[in-house]
Amino acid sequence: MALPEQLLLSDLLRRRVRCDQGLDHGVGASAWMHPPVHRLLGWISKPSAFGDRREAWRLNQLRGLAELELFVQGPPAPTDQATVERLPTLIEAAVLARSGEVIGSVADAAVELSSGRILHYLVSRSDPRLPGSSRWRLPPDRIVDQQPGQVSTGLAGLDDLPLAKASVRQQFLRRSRRWREQMQQAGDRFEERLEGWLEEPPWEPAEQEPRRWDPADTTDPDDDWDNWPEPMDSAPRPRRSAPQPPPEEEDPWF
């Protein structure tokens, strides 16, 4: 079963661990990492819902992934809850901006499985345990300082980071912002077109010079038949000739 090149830490922890002997070692409980170099060494599973017994697994023991299970090879390292709580981690650490203001918390991490290198952290503005909240990518090189429980960055805010996954509310806000921009652009184009119409001179038909009335002229321009144009679909009218006298009849007796 081929493994992916990278995996989210949350996908690793939410699956149950099953060894090559077929035994169920419980679901993942926490990460086993080395924060100074931003590397994931393994993870911790909880074999029983009761008791403080924990089991540590190295990342190179992972052999396969299923929808709800992890397949590992080799035995785990037994430990307890008190030891696990002393392991350093950046998960759920507060993220501080340049001004020292808390702008979010580390909710997850993208891990390269071949080396355990953390490619980027996922920062949440709200409770990191809420699966529907937005996530921003925080590369390790944007971290200025790190201490137990907090991470200092040179960011002015989360908007300086690329958005990895938007929540329903964030998607609605982005879609509403895009609609407002489109409506604003359409309104600007309409105003420019309206201003162009108002600047154009109005069309005025050419005025014809009125005909002067002459008392000596008794002709009616409407009765000028010779000036009327011939209809396009009629044949030319033949000219009438003057009436000719009837020819003289010859006397048949002479």
What structural domains and CATH numbers belong to the chain? 1-89 (2.30.30.240), 90-186 (2.30.30.240)
Asked if 25 and 13 touch (Cβ cutoff 8 Å), the reply is no
Query: How far apart, in whole angstroms, are the C-alpha atoms of residue 48 and residue 45?
Result: 9
Instruction: Identify whether the C-beta of residue 109 lies closer than 8 Å to the C-beta of residue 55.
Output: no
pLDDT class of 42 with cuts at 50, 70, 90: very high
The region that residue 74 occupies, defined by phi over 0 for left and psi between -120 and 50 for alpha, beta otherwise, is left
pLDDT at 238: 56
Token readout for 53 is: 């017994």
What was the pLDDT predicted at 175? 57
The pLDDT score that the predictor gives to residue 61 is 94
DSSP bridge partners of 45: 28, 55
What is the band of 239 on the pLDDT scale with cuts at 50, 70, 90? Answer: low
Cα 12 off chain centre by: 29
Say if pTM beats, i.e. exceeds, 0.75.
no
Contact 124, 93 (CB under 8 A): no
Instruction: Supply the pLDDT for residue 209.
Output: 56
Report pLDDT digits (tens) over 125-155.
Answer: 876 666 667 899 999 999 999 988 999 999 9
Q: Please state the separation of Cα 115 from the chain's center in Å.
A: 33
User: DSSP string spanning 132-185?
Assistant: TS-EEEE-GGGEEEEETTEEEE--SSGGGS-EEE--HHHHHHHHHHHHHHHHHH
Average pLDDT, the chain: 79
